[in-house]
Structure 1
Amino acid sequence: MELPLYSKAQLALRNGDDREEIWCAYKGLIYDVSKSRLWRNGKHYEHWAGQDLTEELADAPHTEHVFDKFDPIGRLK
């Protein structure tokens, strides 16, 4: 199944503030993290939803395997 493409502007709207969805991107894939208690209100520590977190993951205390808990819902254009 081909995942839909979303622009950075479309991703930015899914920040938990402008819309209910809380999405973030990592390595070209977009994940819906709305159900995660760690992303309430679109904020996770000093990181904000609605953006590509690929470069920011290096500063995180966890690995990229944290995204294994979420199914990708789209691809970033």
Structure 2
Amino acid sequence: MRSMDDLPFYTKSQLALRNGQDREEIWVAYEGSIYEVTHSRLWRNGKHYEHWAGQDLTEELSEAPHSKSVFIKFKVVGRLK
């Protein structure tokens, strides 16, 4: 398993391309980590309720009905620059 130090950095512009529309990958960021959510049924087409993929969701999580533990089941693919 890779450590966080071994993961590549991505800019917000690069993250934005993984929105479920521009590319097949669907990624979201939270607290500096970028998560692969492509295969989650809750992120079909890059949208999860009022949230859009390809973005940093750190600020938005406070409005969600769940905690940050929801990210445990997703693979970390990079770090937000």
2:48 matches 1:12? no
Task: Name the SS for the 1:61 alignment partner.
Answer: coil
- TM-score relative to the length of structure 1: 0.98
1:33 alignment partner in structure 2: 37
- Moved >6 Å (runs of 4+): none
AA of the residue aligned to 2:58 = T
**Structure 2: 5+ residue runs without aligned partners?**
none
2:57 matches 1:74? no
How many residues are aligned here? 77
User: What is the CA-CA distance between 1:50 and the residue it aligns to?
Assistant: 0.1
Task: Name the SS for the 1:31 alignment partner.
Answer: strand
- TM-score relative to the length of structure 2: 0.93
User: Aligned equivalents of 1:41 and 1:25: distance in 2?
Assistant: 17
Deviation per residue, 1:9-33 (Å, 9 max, x gap): 0000000001110000000000010
**Identity across aligned pairs (percent)?**
73
User: What is the CA-CA distance between 1:71 and the residue it aligns to?
Assistant: 1.7
Task: Name the SS for the 1:30 alignment partner.
Answer: strand
**Structure 1: 5+ residue runs without aligned partners?**
none
Of residues 47, 51, 54 in structure 2, which corresponds to 1:50?
Answer: 54
User: Aligned equivalents of 2:72 and 2:31: distance in 1?
Assistant: 13
Q: What value does the CA root-mean-square deviation take over the aligned residues?
A: 0.5
User: What is the CA-CA distance between 1:40 and the residue it aligns to?
Assistant: 0.1
